[in-house]
Amino acid sequence: MSTLTLRQEPPERLDLFHVNPLSLGGLSEAEAARLPVGTSRRSLTLGDCFTISLDGSETLTIAGGSSRLDRVGASLSGGTIHVEGDVGQRLGAGMAGGTLTVSGSAGPFVGSGATGGTITIEGDAGDHAGGAVYAAKAGLDGATLVIRGRAGDHLGDRMRRGLLLVGEAGAYAGSRMIAGTIAATRVGDHPGYGMRRGTILAGGHGALSPSFVETGTHDLVFLRLLSRSLRALSPTHADLAAGALKRYSGDLATLGKGELWVSAG
Low-confidence ranges of the chain (pLDDT < 70): none
- The per-residue pLDDT for 204 is 94
Nearest to 205 by CA among 219, 184, 223, 230: 184
- The per-residue pLDDT for 130 is 97
- The per-residue pLDDT for 117 is 97
- The per-residue pLDDT for 56 is 84
3-state SS record for the chain: CEEEEECCCCCCCEECCCCCHHHHHCCCHHHHHCCECECCCCCCEHHHHEEEECCCCCEEEEECCCCCEECCCCCCCCCEEEEECCCCCCCCCCCCCCEEEECCCECCCCCCCCCCCEEEECCCECCCCCCCCCCCCCCCEEEEEEEEEEECCCCCCCCCEEEEEEEECCCCCCCCCCCCEEEEEECCCCCCCCCCCCEEEECCCCCCCCCCEEEEECCCHHHHHHHHHHCCCCHHHHHHHHCCEEEEEECCCCCCCEEEEEECC
- pLDDT tens sequence across 21-40: 999 988 999 999 999 999 99
- The per-residue pLDDT for 264 is 85
